[in-house]
Amino acid sequence: MTAPTLPGPAALSLQPVSRQRFGFLRELLRRPSGLFGVIILAIFTLLALVPDLLVGPLQTAVTATGPRLGPPSIEFPLGTDELGRSILNLTVHATRISMVIGLLATFITVAIGAVLGIVSGYVGGRFDALLMRIADFFLVLPTFVLAIILTAIIRDAIGTGSREIGGIRLSLLVIVVVIGITSWSSAARIIRSQTLSLKERAFVDRARVIGASSSHIMRRHILPNVVNLIVANAVLTFAGAILTETTLSFVGLGDPFQPSWGQLLEAARSTGAPGLGAWWYFVPAGASVVLVVFAFTLLGNALDDILNPKLAGRR
Amino acid sequence: MRSPLARRVRTFLAAVVLLAPTLVMTGGVQAQDQLVLRVGTDQKLETLNPWQSITYADYEMFTIQYELLVSFDINLDPAPGFADSWSSSADAMTHTFHIREGMQWSDGEPATCEDARYTYQFVLDVLASDDGYVGSGYLEPYLSSAGLESVTCDDAGNLIATTSYPTTLLTQAYIPILPEHIWSQYSQQQISDPAADGFFANEPVVVGSGPYHAVEWSPGEFIRMERNPNYWGTPGVPDQIVYQTFESEDTMDQALRTGELDYVRGTGANQFDAMQSEPNIRTAEGYANGYTYLSFNTRAKEQGYRGSTSALRDEAFRDALGYAIDRQTLVDRVLNGHGVAGTTHVPPYHVNWHVEPDHPRTFDIDEANRRLDAAGYPRGDDGRRIDADGKPIVLRLTWPDSEDHAADAQFIQGWFDQIGIGVDAFVTEEGALLELLPGPEYDTGYHADWDFYMWGWGGDPDPNSLLGLFTTDQIPAAINDCFYSDSRYDTLNTLQQQATDVAQRKEYIDEMQQLFYDAACYHVLYYDSELHAMRTDKFTGWTNQPPESGVPLFGFGYPAYMLLTDANATPTAGPPEATPTAGATQGPQPTATPTPTDTGGGIDSSVLLIGAIVVIIVVGGGFLLLQRRGRVEEEE
Amino acid sequence: MTTLSAAEIRGRRQWPLPKLADPTAPLLEVRDLKTHFRLERGWVRAVDGVSFSLADGEALGLAGESGCGKTTTALSLVRLLPSNGRIRGGSVELFGIDLVPKSERAMLRYRWREISIVFQGAMNALNPVTRVADQIAEPIRQRLGQSDKTSKRRAAELLDLVGIPRKRLGAYPHELSGGMRQRAMIAMALACDPAIVIGDEPTTALDVMVQAQILLLLEQLRRDLGLSLILITHDLSVIAETCDRVLVMYAGRVAEEGPVDRVFREPRHPYTQKLLGAFPNIHADRRTLEVIPGQPPDLVDPPVGCRFAARCPFVMPVCTEVDPPEVRLEDGVRVACHLFPPSGDAA
Amino acid sequence: MSLRYLARRLMTAAITVFLIVVLNFVLFRMMPGSPERILLGRTPNVSGEVIQATRERWGLDKPLFPDQFVAYLASTVQGDLGFSFGGGSRGRPVTDVLLQRLGPTLLLFGLGEVLAIILGLALGAYSGWRRGGILDHVGNGLSLVLYSTPYFLLGMGLLIVFATGLGWFPTFGISTVGQSYAGPLDQLGDMAWHLALPLATVALGLVGQYSILMRSSIVETLSEDYVTTARAKGLTEGRVLRSHALPNALLPTVTLIAINLGYVVAGAITVEVVFNWPGLGTLTVNALSSRDYPVLQGVFLLLSVGVVLANLIADLMYGFLDPRVRT
């Protein structure tokens, strides 16, 4: 019937699924913004995966060889910090930390958010009410102050911050948990509201009439239509995670032994790099943060374009 | 209905237009009719109630507002304060202080011997009370350690103080003489305990006797002082003094550069180096009256004590570790040379009292290994040394999050690794650390669950307080945090407090330093310098206290303030004027070759440049792609 | 079954004809309309050479299965196409004015004032945050330049007309029942007293009782106002009840077109036959449409010859080689099928 | 809007606030380090009795529940949040400390939010409406970059360039302390002059976020049937946007902005630190570094309640904007 103009129910429910299934990756790469995002992320992912191969092991005060706050040179392409460590080395290793924190946090957040959001929105009733109360509660908590407090508490609980899990110090995993705890609710709430509106759409009713099980409807009809939201939310969350991590480190809650971008920025600031014009100290980390978040957002938008049936219809 | 709205809109716009220029104007010509000395500090301006003082900043606040009974001159020698002359009896147990005549408090009330008597009597009462301390508990020890017994005023307006034993410490007592007519209204509780009802915070306007007194206080932000009209001496040159606290050291140094500050306390090593070569900025590096130390849990695994290995109890073990610490490297690399490698717990700042140990532990990995072998800590298969209980030694090293010792820790990690000692380093939240340190004596539920940690102590003009930290009776007070206990040391401490003959006292103090050093329960890492910087285009006459090894402000007494003179540069410190010198820093180190960091313009433009480039790349890149994407879409 | 003559109807117009209008020209004349959509894969020939006309007061039904181009045809009239849709040929003459070459701005003049649309699913077609009355009044105020008061009053009258009680004037869409909303939608469509009203599946998603009422309403309005109606629906029964003529589309082309009674009584085109055959009863059931075996062709590159060939029971060799010409039979039925070759000078 | 809606909202807010108060109690009893140790710090010559005394004074000798909790509730209700442990306000009532810092933060972030919302929504709406247009690409690209930049980085940049570098603006504070002003306008000017950079930082930091939100919201809305209806009505594009797309697109944006407030605080903290702005942000870091738990607790409470209120307002606005939720 009205397929091209206002995609009919059938189109709505089927289109994204099929599009997802069949190589939307190709579609993604066909989009310059998507391509750009993918490339940037690929680069940083590479840095994160094999920092040692690229710049050798993380330099410490002991293994540092460079001059104090030396500007970029042949030997130190990005200059050195106040202990003579190569900024390049630090930044690359920081990439790993930051990315891991960001991704873990994003995963936790979005997973919780999506599941709770969809179920709560679809099941509705008392369950929904309760869940959203809780979500709302978490929403109003000032993430950052809560994060500060939780960090202190959890650290105190798990004891020494030097034990490692998968090469990541506990003190940093704390940050992941904290971010997860503090940001799942917005994801849940947003996805829920979308679910609610979808629930009213004709095609869901129809599916229900046909006798599809709730779980089936949620998976086949709701999920595909909130994927774009989930993606968009994941993007924001990742950005938020990186930001929160940066900010926490910025006020000194990071772990100096596992420099993240935020940790570096903090170090640069407390060393007075900005005032000393030692731009090479904070620009790499700063640029990395901006670039990665930027890339993620581009990627998110591209995915949105592809996965969002409405947009798809109008392109 | 329409026209009034339109009018309102127009008025609004007018306001905006009016405001816009004022932004720039006020930026330019700051109506600066008064000569204001602006001081930035990295420390909190905690309190105006002297008894609550903890930080240097706190001390500075009361130092400049209240006279000490006997003050300090620019050479740290006793100088006229509330008393203009003083003498002691032959047995040095009766001390007479002649209170300057005709003094007035800033509120016009006469300042007399009564006030001095009241203040000292207050301390005596406090010491007698079951609390035993007042506020932060930092001040009253000056009198207790001097053995003060009674204070009275004679008819001649002299303060007569008697001590239970001979002492010279009274002239060192760093206790502000407070106006009785103000303070006597409050109970000890109200003065001592912030939580008490009617706690006396001593809010502005403060009634004092010093050259300046606080007239405005925005807690955690700034304290503003004005000249005390009734100050007995020649008034200082600045009309006002503003003390401003900073969360970010960098912001503070920026402010000095732009001329928004005239003096900064506690600048970072790098900024300090950079500023040395800046026009109109003078830097001052002073010996720190304190030190950064490495403290060992010398009761590890004793009854009620935790800690990872009994080896920590072994003096030989700790001594050996001392040889594996290259203090000089720490000074060079961590402090950028702004400090002195540490030895004893009386810093060189106390030129008359500091001694070098007889057998200092010089950095020598082999020696350290030799001693560890000798002490019976063989290496295991993995190269780790084994303690008496046959388990590999891995020590937990920590420090409070309020300080940054990550670099020190990494060095120590590196060195100890070479002698087969594992080091597991991490920061601990300061509150948690304070919980961790004390042992059972402090209180039930405390069991010193730590191995070794880094922190620092600061001292007074007299070494007494620094020495007093390690007497046995300080263990239950959780001050003597390495649980050092030596009856000989305790006796010596009493002796040095009572010694009236300097040479005699020095002997005692020397021995105390030796004992404590050899016990190796503290390894003093370094005496980090005081790094201050000041502008010379507004005030001149900056003088260090003491001249050879000190810094102008945040010292003892206020002599340096009174030596300031108006550089009668343009009174304003408005940035526009400051622009030529703004940010004109030297490279991070004098040796730095002229890179982007040689001239002010250079720096900022370079930063600008980089920033711009980054933004352009990101925006441009994204933008181009987005555009191309746009086209693609249309073709789709 | 028109009760009013063209002249009468044009005479009743409350608003003047468009300046360029030729009073004598037929109401609507669509010739060889081609509306295509650009996709990554290429042009989708959604509407590929459709011609038809509409007389004053006449009701034309557009029938066909989903995606056959019904709606696209209708929306092409006022060029309400998605960004990737283009009219790539043909003409749409309203009162003899060709709308196809008109600029966007010029087009605005014709939308709603001359051709208004009753969309399906009025829930989504009505702005949820604006009072229904205001939404009806909006075009009156905006397009006809009436005062606030007048347009409000007119809106009220219209609601009356479609049978919505006055007290619901201030209601928001979500406060109305599905049927009510559809009525409101119709009232809105009548706001500017347009020459043509397009009903795009106006009764879909309504239960049978309400459907009946809505259709009744349309009937009524047609009689009283002499509405010229284009009714798009997959539901042949609706057309049977409401329309004078029916236009059966298949894959973007006209399959058969003619007076309802003729076409329905004696369907010529195999597709039409199938469509009707697919109707056990008079009441529509969308799913039975798919009973016709096979799928409509891919409109990006449609097969040569008859587009129904693949599914046609009477398929002949020629069908897959030559496009069937449209033939006008003597009883006024137009059909495009090789079973009905242009016999000499037919009609 | 119906009273029921109003009442329900208020009820929810009240409950939330109560829960916050409770959580606040729980959290801060879990914080490492016992108050008396922090209070006494490394005070020399402290005897066991003194510690006991301190405990009693702070009511720490009593069991957490009910005694301490009840006491806490009682005093909290009376607006007594205890006394600051340090951080520049040792011994002052937490309430005073907070109030003193509230003004500057409200000024900075109130203005910043307003600026950001106006600019952001306008930019977002326009680029969403002209999707694919030149301004969309520029605006969107810019928004993304701004959105991707941590506040303090932005702040540091502005500081270096405009304060240290060009010296156009001061590097710290909210006013020139000890400055005597020619008149109120002069004083206002001085504050505006100090406000400029932090405000720019906050506004820029938020603008990107909001314009992205608004853009996607508009794009969604433009694909709605009623927008097609509006077009069919022959309304001008401008009118379609103003009276049909925008009102609907605003709904989700309002919610999201309200939701984001909780996060905005994070920005607050860093921006204030960078510019030494005497607001709650600096206070928080300050309290953190000096383990001033009562103040930290106060900040937490204040900010949470603030966000609750903001959300309440947002809800009411939503009710005003969207008839569907009124009933």
Write out pLDDT tens, residues C203-232: 777 777 888 888 888 888 888 888 888 999
- For residue B503, tell me if it sits in a domain: yes
Closest CA to A295 of A86, A102, A79, A52: A102
Residues from chain C contacting residue D244 (CB–CB below 8 Å): 127, 130
List subunits contacting chain A, requiring 3 or more Cβ pairs under 8 Å. B, C, D
Q: Looking at residue D49, what is its pLDDT?
A: 62
**Residue B299 sits in the same domain as residue B185:** no
Q: Which residues of C touch A10 (CB under 8 A)?
A: 66
Q: What is the CA radius of gyration of chain D?
A: 24
Least confident of A172-181, B594-603, C319-328, D20-29: B594-603
Chain A: give the shortest CA distance to residue D277, in Å: 15
Looking at residue B388, what DSSP letter applies?
T
Q: What is d(CA B191, CA A223) in angstroms, rounded to the nearest whole number?
A: 65
pLDDT recorded at residue C293 = 72
Domain shared by B316 and B429, yes or no: yes
Please check whether residue D261 is in contact with residue D324, taking contact to mean a CB–CB distance below 8 angstroms. Answer: no
DSSP letter for each residue of D172-215: S-SS-TTPPPSSHHHHHHHHHHHHHHHHHHHHHHHHHHHHHHHH
Size of interface A-B (CB pairs under 8 A): 156
The distance of B620 to chain A (nearest Cα, Å) reads: 12
Closest-CA distance of chain A to residue C296, Å: 12
Of D225, D229, D235, the CB nearest to C142: D235
Given an 8 Å threshold on Cβ–Cβ distance, is D32 in contact with A156?
Answer: yes
Which of B247, B402, B575 has the CB atom closest to D282's CB atom? B247
Alpha carbon distance B213, C278 (integer Å) = 101
Q: A314 touching C, CB under 8 A? A: yes
- State whether residue A313 sits within 8 Å of chain B by CB: no
In this predicted structure, the answer to whether residue C139 has a pLDDT above a threshold of 90 is no
Helices A125-140 and A170-200: angle between axes, nearest 10 degrees: 130
Q: Name, of C162-171, D35-44, D165-174, the range with top average pLDDT.
A: C162-171
Q: Do C129 and D323 touch (CB under 8 A)?
A: yes
Could you tell me the residue range of the domain that residue B182 belongs to?
60-192
CB contact under 8 A, A4 and C200: no
Chain C positions in Cβ-Cβ contact with residue A313 (cut-off 8 Å): 82
Distance CA D293, CA D85 (A): 7
Return the residue of A nearest to C38 by Cα.
A315
The pLDDT tens digits of the residues spanning D83-131 come to 777 666 666 788 888 888 888 888 888 888 888 888 988 888 888 888 7
Q: Is A123 on the interface with B (CB under 8 A)?
A: no
- How many of the other CB atoms lie within 10 Å of CB of B215? 16
Asked if D45's CB is within 8 angstroms of B132's CB, the reply is: yes
D235, C117: Cβ pair inside 8 Å? Answer: no
Please identify every stretch of chain B with a pLDDT value under 50, giving residue numbers as ranges.
Answer: 1-32, 570-610, 613, 616-636
Does a structural domain hold residue B327?
yes
Residue A282 tokens read as 């904070």
In Å, how far are B43, B239, B242, B260, B558 from D178, measured between CA atoms?
Answer: 20, 10, 7, 12, 21
CATH of the domain at B299: 3.10.105.10
Total structural domains in chain B?
Answer: 2
* Cβ atoms within 10 Å, residue B381: 7
The answer to whether the CB atoms of C71 and A315 lie below 8 A apart is no
Instruction: Provide the residue type at B379 as one letter.
Output: R
Q: Given A3, A202, A314, which is nearest C83 (Cβ)? A: A314
Q: Which chain C residue has its CA at the smallest distance from A315's CA?
A: C84
Residue B285 lies in a domain: no
Contact D112, B68 (CB under 8 A): no
Amino acid identity, position C49: G
Q: What is the pLDDT of residue D42?
A: 53
CATH assignment at residue B150: 3.90.76.10
Residue A287 CA to residue A87 CA, distance in Å, equals 13
Global pTM reads: 0.76
In a domain, B600, yes or no: no
Is B413 within a domain? Answer: yes
Q: Which of B488, B508, B528 is the last residue in one of the domains?
A: B528
Contact D144 A155 (CB under 8 A): no
Kindly list the residues from chain C whose CB atom is less than 8 angstroms away from the CB atom of residue A9: none
pLDDT (0 to 100) of residue B249: 79
Q: What is the pLDDT of residue B506?
A: 93
Out of B192, B222, B238, a domain closes at: B192
Handedness of CA D9, D13, D15, D19 (dihedral sign): positive
B601 touches chain A (CB under 8 A): no
The Cα of B393 is separated from the nearest Cα of chain A by a number of Å equal to 16
B295 and B188 together in one domain: no
Instruction: Output D200 or A156, whichever has higher pLDDT.
Output: D200
3-state secondary structure of B424: strand
Euclidean distance between CA atoms C252 and C45, whole angstroms = 7
Report the residue of B257, B334, B427, B586 to disrupt the A interface, i.e. the one with the largest count of A CBs within 10 Å.
B427
Inter-helix orientation angle D293-321/D94-105, to 10°? 50
Q: Which domains does chain C have, with CATH numbers?
A: 6-114+194-336 (3.40.50.300)
Q: Distances from the Cα of A226 to the Cαs of A122, A218, C82, D324, in angstroms?
A: 12, 10, 23, 22
Please say which residue of B192, B225, B245 terminates a domain.
B192
Report helix, strand or coil for B26.
Answer: helix
B12 or C239: which leads in pLDDT: C239
Q: How does pLDDT run across B420-464, given as a tens digit for each residue? A: 999 988 888 777 788 788 888 887 778 888 999 999 888 877 888
Q: Do B178 and B313 share a domain, yes or no? A: no
Q: Note the pLDDT tens digit of each residue in C64-86.
A: 887 788 888 988 988 888 878 88
Of the two residues D187 and B507, the one the predictor is more confident about is B507
Q: What is the layout of strands, in order, in the sheet containing C42-54?
A: C42-54, C28-39, C85-94, C97-98
CB-based contact B472:B461 (threshold 8 Å): no
* Residues 239-258, chain A, touching B (beta carbon < 8 A): 252, 255-257
Return left, alpha or beta for B58; rule: phi > 0 is left, psi -120 to 50 is alpha, else beta: alpha
Do residues B460 and B446 lie in contact, with contact meaning Cβ atoms separated by under 8 Å?
Answer: no
Q: Are residues B176 and B307 in the same domain?
A: no
- Whole-number pLDDT of residue B628: 40
In a domain, B102, yes or no: yes
- Residue B319's nearest CA partner among B521, B577, B149, B165 is B521
Query: Do B298 and B484 form a contact (C-beta atoms < 8 A)?
Result: yes
> Does any domain span residue B207?
no
Q: Which amino acid is at D139?
A: G
Residues B320 and B182 in one domain: no
Interchain CB contact of A233 with D (< 8 Å): no
Under DSSP, the state recorded for B170 is G
Binding partners of B (≥3 Cβ pairs within 8 A): A, C, D
B102, B93, B100, B146: which is closest to B120 by C-alpha? B146
Cβ-based contacts of A75 with chain B (< 8 Å): none
> pLDDT 10s digit of each residue in chain A, 315 long?
222 222 222 323 333 333 444 466 777 777 777 888 888 888 998 988 888 888 888 888 888 888 888 889 888 888 898 888 899 999 999 998 888 888 888 888 888 888 888 888 888 888 888 888 888 788 777 777 787 788 777 766 665 555 677 667 777 777 788 788 877 887 888 788 888 878 777 677 777 777 778 888 888 778 877 876 787 678 767 877 887 788 788 777 777 788 889 889 888 888 878 777 788 888 899 999 888 888 887 777 776 666 655 444 333
Task: Report the distance separating Cα A249 and Cα D293, nearest Å.
Answer: 20
In this predicted structure, what is the pLDDT of residue B546? 85
Give the separation between CA D171 and CA D177, rounded to whole angstroms: 13
- Whether the Cβ atoms of residue C286 and residue C100 lie closer than 8 Å to each other: no
Q: Flag if A32 and B628 touch (Cβ within 8 Å).
A: yes
Judged by CB atoms closer than 8 Å, whether chains meet at B410 and A70 is answered as no
Q: Are residues B295 and B175 located together in one domain of the fold?
A: no
In a domain, B426, yes or no: yes
Q: Mind telling me how many Å the CA of D276 is from chain B's nearest CA?
A: 6
* Residue pair A36/B621 in contact by the 8 Å Cβ criterion: yes
Q: Give me the residues paired with residue A25 across strands.
A: none
C-alpha closest to that of B424 among B404, B403, B453, B385: B453
One domain, residues B349 and B459 = yes
